[in-house]
Amino acid sequence: MADKLSKIEKRTAYALILPAILLVFSIILFPIFANIWISFKEVELKDIRIPEPRAKKIIKSIPEDPTKLVIVYKLRNSSLLENITDVKLKDKLPANIEFINIDPRCNFKSRTLLCSFGEWKAKYRENLEFIIYNVNGNSIDKKSLKSKKPKLSGKADNILLTTNFTLNNFKKVFFKNDFKDLLLTTFYFTFFGTLGAIIFGVLAAQLVNQKFSGRTFMRSILLFPYVGPVVALAYTWTLLLDPNSGTLNAILIKFQILDQPINLLGQKYLTFQFLGIDLKLRLALTTVIFFEIWRYFPLAFLFVLARLQAIPKDLYEAADVDGAGPLNKFFNITLPQITAIISILFMIRFIWNFNKFEDIFLLTGGASGTRTLPINVYEQGFAISNIGMGSAVSMVIVLILIIFMISYFKLIGKKANEL
Amino acid sequence: MNYKSTLIYLIISTLYLLTLKLVWIILSVLQGLELTNITLETNLILGLSLSLLSILFGNKINLLIKNLGLSLVFTYVFYVINNATPLWFYFGIFSIYFLFLNNIRNYDLKYLNQPHVIEKVTFKYITLFGIVFFSLVILFPFYIMLVTSFKTQASLLMNPLDFSLDFTKDFKEFFKSYIVVFKTYNFSRYILTSTIVSVGTVAITLLFAIPAAYAVARLNFFGKTFLSTSILIIYMFPAIVLVIPLYTIFSQLGLRNSISGLLIVYTATTLPVAIYMLQGYFKSIPKEIEDAALIDGHNWFSIILKIIIPLSLPAIASVALYVFMIAWNEFLFSLMFLDNPKTFTLSRAINYLSGDAETPRQFLMAGSVIVTLPILLIFIYFEKYLVGGLTSGSIKG
């Protein structure tokens, strides 16, 4: 009895879970393997349309003889690059129709026209004409003749399915693609974006964890940047930071902080002097990082706040009795309590920031020194239309992430053992 | 009297008052005011004397009378020094003084003699600065977005600081950008598409996720642990890696430029996190209820329908809202898959509008308001649920 029940249980479990698994498998796991496959091929955007034979049926009447009609099949190869072999056409015609002249490649049997053409070269075009007549001597119904569409079949190489692989994409990624600069930019963006978001998140959480009027209101608005759609927010910031008519530059000039507007999103470097040394700042990248911090500190805030509210109050009361000041309390009570959540947050945010595409794409499009690896995937795949290269770059991203995750878990794991 | 702490208190509180005033002055300048004769020095002196007077009075007189009186006097002094600007500006200055005095009401000479008082004062002011800073930094862009949508390109290019709104215009003139966006740019269609896609994603995700999460939470089957760990790993896989293969596959299947294609991708990408969130909640439901139902002869499907779903409505609401938010805000896949304006979602439509450099910015911002407002309203109304969803599932971003 119990055995039977567990069998039913298993079967039910599989039935419940299978639809979800199939969907996730086909849309996430399968594409990941497809990505590995494509990254070893030299494929361009224009190659991915499968060449197919096409035919359009046109009926013309002959004025002198209403019992006869002309059928024209406009044939063509949809591809400009690939040949199609073994092309066949099949068309079903209404009853009582006979052909006057029939092409040697075709035959007509039991109301069905069957043609086999053999190979069509790329760009192939032909107009195939027949004259037909009605056996009964009546006029032919044009509508029923037109209602059926001809069926075509043919074999063509799908470039994605062939098995010639090459390492060229990866060679190009590493040696011809400013790889060092790409990697550095991505790391700057990811590291400082993550760090900043966490710092501001902790500050905001510390803030909201105190008692003041309007605290719930504050908690809601702190989440606005994360909840709002990235497109709207990015364009608002672009307008705000615009050098010519942006509000920020106008305010700074009005209050005489700046003499000249600065193009915060369009200028690659800002040179300035500090202690007599010339320093160069990646200006556009810094601006993008600040946008990133602005948009994602709410997440860190949310997690840290949840942790802060779980810290027992008597810890602080005991510290008060001991005469500890606020600074002491923060470093000796609060900080140790939130280090665990901060390190988890750091890893998760690091991974997501490493893959961040939309924010940079919408703000700068990857120009002025903000080209990160995800932006490069898009550029290679869709701007330059080299899908193979794009896939190769995205494989590099996955590889780096896996390395990062493993090393991070080892590091954190060791620390956890020591404690 | 503790001179050191009093001095530090004076400096910090003056800085705080200056910050408040600066924010107000910037906001007033954005209403088209010319506030050129306000100087830093006079404001420093005003601030210092106000904080000093406040602690000297302490709580010797009634708090309300003290605050009102001091604010009135200082607003008048401020008016005498700077002169000639509209009344509402001084009303703001008065409110700032009043708020400031209210913030420092606890401080008097006695308080400043306590131990750790410098740290305490500093912490208090960091909090106050924090409130001003975060409110400004977060709300300002939203404010600009909203106000720009009511202005015209010409007036903004002429004076990028003038955000004053002319409420005397008639209705049609005032909402002109919105009317144009709906009429010539077809935004009603995009709103419909976005709604269909988001609601559809929520419905399909729940349909697939609830049974799967139940199986993971309750039933024993081969490969269960493997499955539940791989859910999270799959979830961490970046969308940018999926874009190229999905693009090629969808092109060959003819699923690009179709709402169903978008629905499939959104559902698949949100399913792992939905399952993860739901199974956590299902595990917290006591198992005895289900056991009783099993003995009564219910099968698993009716258990899910009659027991699990009614009991976990809050969690389902969290998941639904979270998934809705992801689908509504999603941009990457809609950018890659849609290039026919007939199938655009709102985000993609705004991106398309901005691609044309000729599009006046007020239309762009009107579109942005249209896409932002629903999700913010939903967030405010269902904040409890959405925050629940964010904290349990929002490793994503």
Range of the domain at A391: 170-418
Considering the domain architecture, whether residues A260 and A354 belong to the same structural domain is answered as: yes
Cβ neighbours of B310 (radius 10 Å) = 9
**DSSP secondary structure code for residue B80 in this structure:** H
Q: For residue B295, is pLDDT > 90? A: no
**Out of B134, B141, B275, whose CB is closest to A233?**
B141
A277-282 and A269-274 beta bridge pairing:
antiparallel
Among A129, A155, A181, the domain-final residue is A155
Classified as helix, coil or strand, A43 is coil
Q: Does position A85 have pLDDT exceeding 70, yes or no? A: yes
Residue A130 pairs in a beta bridge with A71
Query: Once rounded to an integer, what is the mean pLDDT over residues A67-91?
Result: 81
Q: Both A175 and A312 in a single domain?
A: yes
Last residue of a domain, one of A155, A190, A215: A155
- Residue predicted with more confidence, A363 or B397: A363
| B157/A245 touch (CB, cutoff 8 Å), yes or no | yes
Give the mean model confidence (pLDDT) for residues B277-293: 84
Same domain (yes/no): A143, A176: no
C-beta atoms surrounding B369 within 10 Å: 22
The DSSP code for A381 is I
Q: How far is A314 from chain B (nearest CA, A)?
A: 19
Q: Which residues, other chains included, contact B77 with Cβ-Cβ below 8 Å and sequence gap of 6+?
A: B46
* Closest chain A C-alpha to B372 CA, distance in angstroms: 6
- CATH number where A95 lies: 2.60.40.1170
Does residue B239 contact residue B332 with C-beta atoms inside 8 Å?
Answer: yes
Give the pTM: 0.85
Question: Are A286 and A411 in a shared domain?
Answer: yes
Same domain for A140 and A197? no
Tell which residue, A70, A87, A71, has the closest CA to residue A79. Answer: A87
Give yes or no for residue B89 having a pLDDT over 70.
yes
CB contact B395 to A (< 8 Å): yes
Which amino acid makes up residue B222?
A: F
Please check the confidence at residue B1 and state whether its pLDDT lies above 70.
no
Residues of A in contact with B249 (CB under 8 A): 31, 34
- What residues contact A225, with CB distance under 8 A and at least 6 apart? A233, A294, A295, A296, A297, A298, B138
| Bridge partner list, A70 | A60, A131
Residues of A within 8 A of B225 (CB-CB) are none
In a domain, A231, yes or no: yes
Boundary (domain end) residue, out of A98, A128, A155: A155
The verdict on A412 and A320 lying in the same domain is yes
Question: Which CATH number fits the domain that encloses residue A337?
Answer: 1.10.3720.10
pLDDT, residue B78, reads 79
Answer whether residue B396 shows pLDDT above 50: no
Domain assignment present for A225: yes
Give which of A159, A208, A218, A227 to mutate to test B binding, by max B Cβ within 10 Å: A227
Instruction: Report the distance separating Cα B394 and Cα B397, nearest Å.
Output: 7
User: Do the chains contact at B241 and A35, CB–CB below 8 Å?
Assistant: yes
Q: Is B346 helix (H, G, I), strand (E, B) or coil?
A: helix
Rounded CA separation A168/A160 (Å): 16
Quick check: is A38 in a domain? no
Residues A211 and A338 in one domain: yes
Q: ipTM score of the complex?
A: 0.89
DSSP letter at A139? P
Chain A residue at shortest CA distance from B139 = A221
How far apart are the C-alpha atoms of B278 and B212, rounded to whole Å? Answer: 9
Res A2: pLDDT: 60
- pLDDT tens figures, A119-168: 888 778 888 888 888 777 777 777 777 777 888 887 777 666 777 778 88
At residue A417, the pLDDT reads 47
Is pLDDT above 70 for B214?
yes
Residue A220: pLDDT over 70 = yes
- A94 inside domain: yes
**Residue B377 confidence class, pLDDT cut points 50, 70, 90:** very high
Beta partners for A155? A85
Residues A60 and A101 in one domain: yes
* A250 touches B at CB < 8 Å: yes
Report B:230-259 residues touching A (Cβ under 8 A): 234, 236-249, 251-252
Answer whether B141 sits within 8 Å of A236, measured CB to CB.
Answer: yes
Classify residue A64: in a domain, yes or no.
yes
B127 touching A, CB under 8 A?
yes
Asked if B222 contacts A368 with a C-beta cutoff of 8 angstroms, the reply is no
User: Does residue A322 lie in a domain region?
Assistant: yes
A114 and A181 fall within a common domain: no
Cβ(B102)–Cβ(B70) under 8 Å?
no
pLDDT digit string, tens, across residues A295-318: 999 989 988 988 888 888 888 888
* Whether residue A130 is found in the same domain as residue A238: no
Does the residue A18 lie in any domain? no
Q: What is d(CA B222, CA B78) in angstroms, rounded to the nearest whole number? A: 77
Cα torsion A25, B213, A230, B126: sign: negative
B392 part of contact set with chain A, CB < 8 Å: no
Q: Please tell me which residue, B116 or A263, carries the higher pLDDT value.
A: A263
Q: Are residues A151 and A174 in the same domain?
A: no
CA distances to A267, A273, A293, B160, B342 from A368, in Å? 6, 21, 19, 25, 33
Distance of CA B106 to the CA centre of its chain: 33
On chain A, the residues whose CB falls within 8 A of the CB of B116 are: 323-326
| Residue B193: predicted pLDDT | 92
- Contact assignment for B300 to A16 by CB distance below 8 Å: yes
pLDDT score at B397: 44
Instruction: Compute the nearest-CA separation of A99 from chain B (Å).
Output: 37
Number of compact structural domains in chain A: 2
Specify whether the CB–CB gap between A376 and A181 falls below 8 A: no
Residues 172-231 of A with CB under 8 A from B: 203-204, 207, 210, 212, 214, 218, 220-231
Tell whether the model's pLDDT for residue B376 goes beyond 90: yes
Choice between A293 and B9, residue whose per-residue pLDDT is larger: A293
**What pLDDT sits at residue A418?**
45
Q: How much is the pLDDT for A413?
A: 63
Token look-up 């209050």 returns A255
Q: Largest alpha-carbon pair distance within chain A?
A: 114
Question: Per the domain annotation, does A72 fall within a domain?
Answer: yes
Regarding whether A387 and A283 lie in a shared domain, the answer is yes
Q: Measured between beta carbons, which residues in chain B are less than 8 angstroms from residue A358?
A: 331-332
